[in-house]
A = this chain, B = another copy of it.
Amino acid sequence: MALQARPLRADAVRNRDSLLAAAKQVFGERGLDAPLEEIARRAGVSIGTLYNHFPTREAFFDAILPERLAALELIAEAAMADPDPWTGFTGFLEGLFALQAEDQSLNDALARRLSLSEEVRASCHRGFELAARVIERAKESGALRADFGVQDLPLLVSAMSQVIRESADAAPQAWRRCLSFFLDGLHR
């Protein structure tokens, strides 16, 4: 989009990179509501500099989340590559939730995508588009119940996001059990 009229100064580039790295870490650990001051601290930069580079929390999201959300597309493609439509489908969900489990920022982003920027929403949407194909294929094969649709995915994501969040410390694998209940309910 708006390409830099003047290139950034060398120290500014360094700071921007540190901020992005710190933001990925902090949001990944503590979710999208993590305090921005923690990011500045971890980047070794003052809070003023943080605001200079990223005037809003959403600016961070736009800079970080689309790239991360692209992983969704890889997972969906891998699912389509699976010769068995059903294991492709289950593999997709496992991949999706494993992603959410290992990065709180993705977990939050997918769960409350509605309240995020146009740009981030578009990234989620792209992933869900591909998911739609995985779902359609599984339905056509008869392995996935006919009344399940993409529109149900957000429901699943929302439900699982909470299980992942709550059990992250005590039982980081608990979401797998929960998912297996769901999958058994979806299988034909």
CB within 8 Å of B: which A108-124 residues:
111-112
Which residue in B145, B159, B174, B185 is a CB contact (below 8 Å) of A162?
Answer: B159
CA distance A59 to B174 in the complex (A): 32
B residues within 8 A CB of A186?
181, 184-185
Decide if A155 is an interface residue (CB 8 Å cutoff): yes
Decide if A70 is an interface residue (CB 8 Å cutoff): no
B residues within 8 A CB of A112?
166
> Smallest Cβ distance from A172 to chain B, in angstroms?
13
Decide if A177 is an interface residue (CB 8 Å cutoff): yes
Which residue in B161, B167, B185 is a CB contact (below 8 Å) of A181?
Answer: B185
> Smallest Cβ distance from A147 to chain B, in angstroms?
9
> Smallest Cβ distance from A104 to chain B, in angstroms?
14
CA distance A171 to B178 in the complex (A): 23
Say yes or no: A155-B182 contact (C-beta < 8 A), given A111-B162, A162-B161, A166-B111: no
CA distance A186 to B145 in the complex (A): 15
Say yes or no: A155-B159 contact (C-beta < 8 A), given A181-B182, A185-B181: no
B residues within 8 A CB of A167?
155, 158
CA distance A108 to B115 in the complex (A): 21
Q: Which chain B residue lies CB-closest to A152? A: B177
CA distance A155 to B156 in the complex (A): 14
Q: Can you sample 7 A-B contacts with CB below 8 Å?
A: A152-B181, A155-B163, A159-B159, A162-B162, A180-B185, A185-B185, A185-B186
